[in-house]
Amino acid sequence: MPEGQIAIIVALREEYKAVAAALQTSSLAQGARFVVFQSGMGPAAAARTVEGLLASANPPRLICSSGFCGGLKDGIEVGAAILPGRVAGADGKTAQEVVCAEAEAYAKKLAAAGLKFQRGTLLSTPAVIARPEEKRALAEKHQAVVVDMESFAIAGAIRGRAEFFVLRVVSDSVVDELPAEVGSFLDEQGNLRLGQILRFALRSPRNLKTLWQLKTRSALAAKALTAAWKAVLE
């Protein structure tokens, strides 16, 4: 990477496309300041991506964990932007404050653009949290507002070698129940497994409705993620 760049790490193909759409319209990004990387799903893949970036000849000075997340509390709707001040691990024993001057400037830009966003604590878990009762329990236990799978691993892998912040958007609220099979809909690289999705759809007419709801929420979250990054890069 050219010196001084900012690396944006996402897990999924849909997240990559949403962030890239914002970068394409930004003079900052066109100047090669921001670069987006698709790590694949889960903490291990995200940590490997960070290690690779920081081991390069010109490591990034700032790394952002971006993409989708799940809401853990009422009032945090699909499409809401999240700029947490703290990331925590699911073991409940470790947490890291997000102290980044540029993140504070980005918060002001989101507000100036009229975009709703949350601060608070982001919790990272090793698996997708599917049921509303699980989400509420995690919110109470960890005092967290949203959940993802990668941000805490990214923060841990950086180990003070670069600045760090998180910019995500909610793709499922606390009341949205995900199918138990949702984890199998994506491969390790974060791309859709169309065969798995088709088999799920054919098992029951109700599953078709579930897939449509997932698609609708994902599209809304992707649009919101593009809007958030456009605001940040303005």
Question: Model pTM?
Answer: 0.88
Mean pLDDT (the chain) is 87
- pLDDT tens per residue across span 155-198: 999 988 999 999 999 999 999 987 776 666 666 776 776 767 67
Q: Provide the β-strand partners of residue 120.
A: none
Q: Is residue 24 part of a domain?
A: yes
Q: Is residue 21 part of a domain?
A: yes
Q: What is the DSSP string of 70-105?
A: EE-STT--TT-EE--SEEEETTSS-EEE---HHHHH
- pLDDT tens per residue across span 105-142: 889 999 999 998 889 999 999 988 989 999 999 999 99
Q: Is residue 1 part of a domain?
A: no
- pLDDT tens per residue across span 219-229: 999 999 999 99
C-alpha pair distances (Å), 85 with each of 23, 95, 100, 149, 166: 24, 11, 9, 17, 8
Is 50 exceeded by the pLDDT of residue 1? no
Q: How many domains are contained in the chain?
A: 1
Q: How many residues are given for the chain?
A: 234
Q: Is residue 82 part of a domain?
A: yes
Q: Is residue 132 part of a domain?
A: yes
- pLDDT tens per residue across span 19-62: 999 998 765 555 558 899 999 989 999 999 999 999 998 899 99
Q: What is the CATH number of the domain that holds 27?
A: 3.40.50.1580
Q: Domain of residue 121: give its range.
A: 6-233
70 or 160, higher pLDDT: 70
